[in-house]
Amino acid sequence: MEKTSTHNLVPGMVLARDVMDQTGRLLAPSGQEITEKLIRIFKIWGVGEVRVKAPEDGDIPADTEPPVPEQIRKKAEELVGYRFQYNDLNDPFVYELFQLSSARKARRMLNNPDHAGPAEMMLTRSQDDAGKPAVSGRGKINVENLIFRTLRLGTLPDIYYKTIAAINNPETSLDDIAAIVSKDTTLSARVLQLVNSSFYSLRQKVDTLTWALALIGTNQLMTIVSGVSAVSLFKNIPSRLINMASFWEHSIACGTAARLLASYFPQRIEAERFFVSGLLHDIGRLILIQNLPEQYHDIFRRVRKEEIFLFTAEEEKFGSDHSYVGARLAHQWNLPEKLVNMIRYHHFPAQEDSFDEPAIVNLADILVNALEIGNSGEFFVPVIEPDVCRKLNLDKEMLQWVVNEIDFQLADIFEIIYGTSEA
């Protein structure tokens, strides 16, 4: 019987099955050899693993990585277990996520003995404040005042709204959209940069916006526009208050995960909206940190000392948490109501009537938090509600697929949205 195996993309191997994209379109037939060019095509369509045949003279080479020593594996499980303490590890889905997270943690610890996940980072911060009292007093914040102050710093640029309007108008041509985008030189540069990046690896250099838009499509354009706009708006928050790269890595990964989860369900066609929701879901935290840095620092300490969720500490300290603050800002930005609700209910999706849309962002946030992809300040892994699992019909295979795809897609989109934000 023919020997086959699921494998990462490696040139020279031979496909054992036809490879399709999410919509069932054939990307490459069984029997075709994997080339660098084919890998680029798979990458564009989000295929990270394929089924390959064993060579005639031997076995399929394993995805070789050195084994993790037992001692490191146990330590990783202990650290991850502490962060999972509010989750039910008897639930098979939760346990699978715990195992994936522990394995990643162990691998990171092996490759980098100085690896600092959220646990270690937060401990360092707390030690700075040894001896100081925990939270002193409680004061409700005036959310409207915070939003007003934030809006004075800037709002989403006009180009954002004009581009959305143009895309949503069936009468608009690509030339018209290109004409709108070309008025913003930063945005134009980002679009051309994406098209000419390794993500597409085209032989020819694309030097016109119309051509670029024809290649990337309007959905991808909206992703870039919203991402670049949001990142640039908060770029002046000092690094001593929050690690912005880590914050945006968490947010971009959450957006990527939410888009993947949404695309998994055939009835959801606007997967791109989920990316934007994931991207912006914790933006309220930036508003709180920017306006109330001292109080927020107190909250960080309290989270570790009392082993509570950051959003709970925010609510108790300020009378509102970051999801409420972020949703108010999104509302002021005139973002669509569905998107506002996904931000508002990303920690408590069952509170929203339609439930399933916030549930996707909720799960995406928990996944990237558990896997320690970036960090927006939350220390403990939020609880995966059984209702969310039931509603989204989650299973272990889907989890594995989403995690692989996040790893596969994140670097490119992070580079475009954040990595070049200072350019």
- Cβ closest to Fe ion, residue 98 vs residue 379: 379
Bridge-based pairing state of the strands 4-8 and 49-53: antiparallel
Helices 92-111, 396-414: crossing angle, 10 deg rounding:
40
Q: Which stretch binds Fe ion (CB under 5 A): 77-85, 103-111, 141-149, 372-380?
A: 372-380
In the complex, the smallest distance separating the C-beta of residue 376 from Fe ion, rounded to whole angstroms, is 5
CB of 97 to Fe ion, least distance (A): 15
- State how far the Cα of 193 lies from the Cα of 177, in Å rounded to an integer: 17
Instruction: Report how far residue 207's alpha carbon sits from residue 186's, in angstroms, rounded to the nearest whole number.
Output: 15
Site for Fe ion in 204-223 (CB under 5 A): none
Stretch of 37-45, 157-165, 263-271, 368-376 contacting Fe ion, by CB under 5 A = 368-376
- CB under 5 A: which stretch of 193-201, 213-221, 334-342, 371-379 binds Fe ion? 371-379
- Which residues have CB under 8 Å from 90's CB, separation 6+? none
Smallest distance, Å, CB 341 to Fe ion? 14
- What is the pattern of x (binds Fe ion, CB under 5 A) and - over residues 255-284? ---------------------------x--
Q: 113: helix, coil or strand?
A: coil
Cβ-based nearer residue to Fe ion, 282 or 298: 282
Would you count residue 249 as binding Fe ion (CB under 5 A)? no
| Number of residues counted as binding Fe ion (CB under 5 A) | 3
Cα(222)–Cα(191) distance, integer angstroms: 10
DSSP string, 60-94: PPP---PPPPHHHHHHHHHHHHHHTTTS-TTSHHH
Q: How far is the CB of 322 from Fe ion (least distance, A)?
A: 6
Is the Cβ of residue 184 or residue 365 nearer to Fe ion in the bound state?
A: 365
- Least distance in angstroms from the C-beta of 273 to Fe ion: 17
The answer to the question of residue 321 lying near Fe ion (CB under 5 A) is no
Task: Considering the complex, state which of residue 7 and residue 344 has its C-beta at the smaller distance from Fe ion.
Answer: 344
Which residue, 249 or 365, has its beta carbon nearer to Fe ion? 365
SS3 394: coil
Q: What is the 3-state secondary structure (H, E, C) of 250-290?
A: HHHHHHHHHHHHHHHCCCCCCHHHHHHHHHHCCHHHHHHHH
Count the neighbouring beta carbons within 10 Å of the beta carbon of residue 171: 6
CB of 89 to Fe ion, least distance (A): 22
Per-residue binding string, Fe ion, 374-393, x by CB under 5 A, is: --x-----------------
Q: How far is the CB of 148 from Fe ion (least distance, A)?
A: 22
List the one residue out of 207, 157, 153, 206 whose CA is nearest residue 183: 157
Structure tokens at 289: 């940190």
365 binds Fe ion (CB under 5 A): yes
Taking the complex as a whole, how short is the minimal distance between the CB of residue 266 and Fe ion, in angstroms? Answer: 27
**Complex with Fe ion: residue 298 or 321, whichever CB lies closer:** 321
Residue 369 or residue 409: which is nearer to Fe ion going by CB? Answer: 369
Binding site for Fe ion (CB under 5 A): 282, 365, 376
